[in-house]
A = this chain, B = another copy of it.
């Protein structure tokens, strides 16, 4: 699937592009079931709630679940990413966040690429993120908020906070924009927050400034985020690389499936 010129221009100008209801309801059900299954696989890739047992995030499900192995190669997703980035891309990071009811991430405003440059030595911001809504995203359940166009600034902040909690784990708080930086950029760019039904997909730049509202609703909200990286832009970590479930080691170029992932299940190895 190719983006129209208008869609590609929108991504370039604003740093994100919303593809509403790209996946259908049946596909969303397939992906939810695969998430439930994957969340039960023991290992460090499953992140529990602070002080609880509820699953907050799962990493690298595409390495274990054929549905997600198919999804990242789905022509409706991979081809637009190739179009925006380059033909040879691979998945650098894959995670599914289950933002809990009555809470969830705070509003640390940041640019993703700073984290990846610091933690993984990623040479250039040659990535495209995709966010796949596994639940309806509304103004009430913790949508991502973008400063549209802010990706054209490049990185606003250079380093990380001195109080960072660990060398390898970069919390958004450690790399967040200062209130003054945010005020200046909100004045210039405004704020926008893509919302839509489950099955919608939002593509966004690794340099776009964004934050995340808390989930005011009594229901958890699941969001898949996969980051595609240019195969000629491999990470060069200074020390020990981060674990494989955080920074994927398989850097072979992905090739699009001939059909939507839901029609090819059984033919793709995870």
Residues of A within 8 A of B (CB): 101-102, 107, 138-140, 145, 179, 182-183, 186, 191, 193, 211, 213-214, 216-219
Contacts and interface: CB of A to CB of B under 8 A. Distances in A.
B179 A102 contact: yes
Nearest to A108: B102
Given A102-B107, A107-B102, A213-B213, A218 B140 contact: no
Contacts of A183: 101, 218-219
B186 A217 contact: yes
Nearest to A212: B216
A140 B193 contact: yes
B179 A191 contact: no
A214 B211 CA distance: 13
B107 A214 contact: yes
B179 A218 contact: yes
A179 B101 contact: yes
Contacts of A138: 191
Count chain B CB atoms within 10 A of each CB in A145, A211, A216 and give the residue with the most: A216
A217 B193 CA distance: 13
Nearest to A101: B179
28 contacts: A101-B179, A101-B183, A102-B107, A102-B179, A107-B214, A107-B216, A138-B191, A139-B139, A139-B193, A140-B145, A140-B191, A140-B193, A140-B213, A145-B216, A179-B218, A182-B218, A183-B218, A183-B219, A186-B217, A186-B218, A186-B219, A191-B216, A191-B217, A211-B216, A213-B213, A213-B214, A213-B216, A214-B214
A135 to B, nearest CB: 14
